[in-house]
Amino acid sequence: MMQRPNLAGQPFLDTRPVVLASAALAVAALVLTAISVSEFVTVRVAERGHAQRLEQLRSKRTQLAAEVEAENRALAAVPWKKLGLETGAMGGVLEGRRLSWSALLADLERVVPWDVRLVSVTPNVSEGGAVGIGLDGYAMSREGWLRLLGRLFADRSFSDPLPQSEEAPDETNGLGYRIRVRATYWPGGRK
């Protein structure tokens, strides 16, 4: 095979692929630059929005901190001990309101012997349903006083009777033996 002679002054170089590749790279660079600029602008707008939101939250936090400090000062001025005592007393009053006086008096009428006269019944309602009661009165005889204690022991509505005091009759007390007893009353009977 015969070679053709090269009559050109310089060798022929085909630069079309390089030009096409350069143009494609330039277009890709322009597209990527446009995307980057668009992302940059979007991020800057979002960043400004977040910065404004952060500033709003900081001012809200400062406002809430001031409110909390004011509330703490107000709470520090509250007399907690006194309030606790008043609340406890109110709880006792509410528990006392639940006590059925008619049931208590009916149960006492059932256990108090005929020769014992009560002049004072003092309930002290506690949590759990039990009621501590103080009974003050007069017994015509010591046997009546002992019968009262025996009946309090035996009845299921009462428990733990504890004599507090006993005074024999004298010139100043002609009503009989002055008695005082504490017991636990269980409305509806012991469980």
Q: Which domain, by its residues, includes 177?
A: 100-185
* Position 28 pLDDT exceeds 80: yes
Confidence of residue 35 (pLDDT cuts 50, 70, 90): very high
| Residue 173 pLDDT > 80 | no
Residue 77: CA atoms inside 13 Å, Cβ hemisphere, count?
5
The residue among 24, 42, 77 that closes a domain is 77
Domain containing 173 — which CATH number?
3.30.70.2830
The pTM score is 0.50
Tens digits of per-residue pLDDT, 124-167?
A: 877 666 788 999 999 888 898 889 999 998 888 888 898 888 88
One-letter identity of residue 138: Y
Q: Is 70 part of any domain? A: yes
